[in-house]
Structure 1
């Protein structure tokens, strides 16, 4: 069978005023990925598929996000907000190209899946003109209801227009729809605005199709999958559902989550085998975790690559640009940023390693920091293989510590240290007998200090 072509139109023109935010609604994140990005990721992307995103005026940030996720995406502006059918027709140019299947989705439904889009397309291949996505609502109040006769969808009745009997219907309209692309412009062109709001409603397409003698069908999904986001509370609800999905998928892939409900993952987190994550860990975007790695409690990791059998935390913070080789160890209260730590490196406690490269099997003592910022520019620290940096050392970048070099505790290193050299920079200790007593006498005049 010849593969069918498709056009997915994602409606993303809403201002999202109920979000109480200057950020366009579809750019709010769920699992470290924007609402729009989730929908675009689920949309068909095989050969013969195309994508259009309808945005509001002055929403260049939404256009940029669409292009970032899908560089092939076409974008169209809905100048006036005159209803869902009006929004779809903003992409008339793309529809006119004549894809076999037209999918209409919304940029604020991040939980929709690629599988659901595929199920919506299937009836079109069998001759249906429309396949509408529905769900059975726990509380259907406010939703449009699906009016069906046998297996056919004959109308979508809005709550305000529904009879008392129709309001008892639990099968509700999710808004997402698939339409025969060859008949789409004919159907959409017949939608009028003879209603109280004077808007063009996509739901009217179902009755237009019925009058033409064509078929409309219902595809059901879960209420969770079609959650629309209009408020911060709904955003939090979607986050909860998405996190449950991600945790389940991780555990099914073999990841050990000791207290799953306390671990937060990103949509793009990549896991190897036999990974263990302890309670209260946050994994941001761009993180890959190789086989056998353990992440201890209260650690926060973003844009980081972890090798095999790495140990992180507890209470570690790995910032963007961190890369850890196999067997590396990052201990409690250690922070890294733009740092490459090769295999076997140990930074066990209370250190900051930023804008640095640390060679294999080096040891970084407690309290060590790479002084990478001079108030104007960032500078790089290079530490060779097998180096030992003593506790409470400050490495003032730009500086290079050679292979096998040894830095004495408490040193401030401002010059390069050759291979196998020892560097020590500290003032000579002096002891003044009776000095403490004299100091107290001077400060108190012989009186006991106040407590």
Structure 2
């Protein structure tokens, strides 16, 4: 059945005490909004509508960065969840199939849960996501009969018997698109806040003779982020889940509690991840690679058999082919390292192409920035770059070429050539002693 998503992301999040819109705070290196969009992506939605409000321009940019086909609409006044969904109605007027309403500040809902909600639509016209709360507190309660939902009762309106229920409302809801917006149009605001709430939909559906149902998920999936403390709790929950999934998928984590994954991190089985490794967005590690301790990776691809670290940094655009070795205190950015390349230590490779089986000596720098523009360095295969070589881009070093240690390479080096670009050493016998004696006398005279 086709499905569309409506993601509510209009809130300011005043309890975050931040100028940044709440849904743009980072969890696992990505905005909270992206987590909701990622969960819904598994359903293959025909359309995704993000309802923005506070910081709408920034939220729109973030939504389009994740999905360039996403649609956005502004909720100029925040008048409740049903009012927010109503803003999406014109953009989904001709939508077929279901609509699922998600929340940009509820990042941990699993794709499997959304799939279960859509499956439950075969039995019910409206499906609500519920959870059993350890401490129900002031959550809205779900009053059920089997898997049929009779009504949603807000805490302040609940009887003592209803308050004793532990089955609570997450806010996530699914219904046929036309029915969803038809019911939303009937929602009133006869409540203390004068707002329009989605919680009215199940009861409105039942008045039409339609059934409402509940899908139950673990409580941690429904964690909403309204404070910095809750953001930290969500980070902890996400990382716990991601580590468990990695281990289950055949990845070795030598110190699981110290590894931090990104939202979209992909690590193949039989890879080894050392302690204190941080994955930013956009990292793929193929099977059989090893990431040693204290590495920071972002926007990069690491092929089978490659080793990275310890203490290495891979930045966006770093592409490591099979059996590449990147050692300690090496930084790679926007560079392609072909098979078997070795970059052992204390080196910066940026905006570069390095041919297969080339060796990069310690202290090498591709000088890629002239203060205005970036330039590219190209190194052929089987080349040897001596320690402390400065490659001033744009420059090319040919196949099987060699640069002498300490060279500053400003011109292309032909294949199979040796490039020496350093001043000739001159020794001055006895000058060191005479200079030292002179300096000591000068120091003494100033006391």
Q: TM-score, normalised by structure 2?
A: 0.92
**Partner-residue secondary structure (3-state), 1:61:** helix
Q: Any idea what the Cα deviations from partners look like across 1:148-197, whole Å, max 9, x if unmatched? A: 34543222222222233332221111111123444334422332111111
Distance 1:421 1:94, change over 3 A: closer
> Do the aligned residues in 1 keep the contact of 2:225 with 2:231 (CA within 8 Å)?
yes
**Partner-residue secondary structure (3-state), 2:160:** coil
- 1:120 aligns with 117
> Residues of 1 paired with 2:236 and 2:355: CA distance?
40
> Residues of 1 paired with 2:95 and 2:368: CA distance?
57
Distance 1:233 1:48, change over 3 A: closer
- 1:65 aligns with 62
Distance 1:416 1:72, change over 3 A: closer
Q: Which residue of the other structure, out of 60, 75, 78, is the alignment partner of 2:75?
A: 78
Q: Which deviates more from structure 2 when the two are superposed, residues 138-147 or residues 434-443?
A: 434-443
> Do the aligned residues in 2 keep the contact of 1:130 with 1:179 (CA within 8 Å)?
yes
Quote the offset at 1:202 in angstroms. Answer: 1.4
- 2:289 aligns with 293
> Residues of 1 paired with 2:396 and 2:71: CA distance?
49
> Residues of 2 paired with 1:123 and 1:306: CA distance?
40
Correspondence 1:40 to 2:37? yes
- 1:410 aligns with 406
**Partner-residue secondary structure (3-state), 1:428:** coil
> Residues of 1 paired with 2:95 and 2:389: CA distance?
67
Correspondence 1:174 to 2:170? yes
Pairwise CA RMSD: 2.4
Correspondence 1:130 to 2:126? yes
- 1:153 aligns with 149
> Residues of 1 paired with 2:314 and 2:42: CA distance?
33
> Residues of 1 paired with 2:445 and 2:281: CA distance?
54
> Residues of 2 paired with 1:361 and 1:186: CA distance?
65
Q: Which residue of the other structure, out of 12, 15, 19, is the alignment partner of 1:15?
A: 12
> Do the aligned residues in 2 keep the contact of 1:8 with 1:44 (CA within 8 Å)?
no
> Residues of 2 paired with 1:180 and 1:417: CA distance?
66
> Residues of 2 paired with 1:342 and 1:376: CA distance?
28
Quote the offset at 1:119 in angstroms. Answer: 1.7
- 1:351 aligns with 347
Q: Which residue of the other structure, out of 98, 108, 113, is the alignment partner of 1:111?
A: 108
Q: Any idea what the Cα deviations from partners look like across 1:284-326, whole Å, max 9, x if unmatched? A: 1222222321111111111112122111111111111111121
**Partner-residue secondary structure (3-state), 1:155:** strand
- 1:259 aligns with 255
Correspondence 1:247 to 2:215? no
> Residues of 2 paired with 1:216 and 1:6: CA distance?
18
Correspondence 1:429 to 2:403? no
Q: Any idea what the Cα deviations from partners look like across 1:231-251, whole Å, max 9, x if unmatched? A: 222122112212222222222
- 2:137 aligns with 141
- 1:363 aligns with 359
> Residues of 1 paired with 2:137 and 2:361: CA distance?
62
In the TM superposition, 1:165-204 aligns within 5 A as: 165-204=161-200
> Residues of 2 paired with 1:358 and 1:407: CA distance?
14
> Residues of 2 paired with 1:338 and 1:98: CA distance?
41
Q: Which runs of 5+ in 1 are unaligned?
A: none
**Partner-residue secondary structure (3-state), 1:122:** helix
Quote the offset at 1:399 in angstroms. Answer: 1.6
**Partner-residue secondary structure (3-state), 2:50:** strand
Q: Which residue of the other structure, out of 23, 28, 36, is the alignment partner of 1:26?
A: 23
> Do the aligned residues in 2 keep the contact of 1:95 with 1:185 (CA within 8 Å)?
no
> Residues of 1 paired with 2:374 and 2:433: CA distance?
46
Q: Any idea what the Cα deviations from partners look like across 1:355-384, whole Å, max 9, x if unmatched? A: 111111111111111111122222221111
> Do the aligned residues in 2 keep the contact of 1:440 with 1:446 (CA within 8 Å)?
no
> Residues of 1 paired with 2:325 and 2:146: CA distance?
63
> Residues of 2 paired with 1:218 and 1:61: CA distance?
34
Q: TM-score, normalised by structure 1?
A: 0.92
- Length, aligned pairs only: 446
> Residues of 2 paired with 1:392 and 1:170: CA distance?
66
> Residues of 2 paired with 1:48 and 1:258: CA distance?
38
Q: Which runs of 5+ in 2 are unaligned?
A: none
